[in-house]
Amino acid sequence: EAQVTQNPRYLITVTGKKLTVTCSQNMNHEYMSWYRQDPGLGLRQIYYSMNVEVTDKGDVPEGYKVSRKEKRNFPLILESPSPNQTSLYFCASSLSLPLTGYSYEQYFGPGTRLTVT
Minimal distance in Å, beta carbon 16 to another protein?
A: 29
Residue closer to another protein, measured from CB, 16 or 21:
21
Minimal distance in Å, beta carbon 68 to another protein?
A: 15
Residue closer to another protein, measured from CB, 44 or 65:
44
Rounded to 10 degrees, what is the CA torsion of 15, 24, 6, 75? 10
Amino acid (1-letter code) at residue 92: A
Minimal distance in Å, beta carbon 36 to another protein?
A: 11
Verify cis geometry, omega within 30 degrees of 0, for the bond prior to 81. no
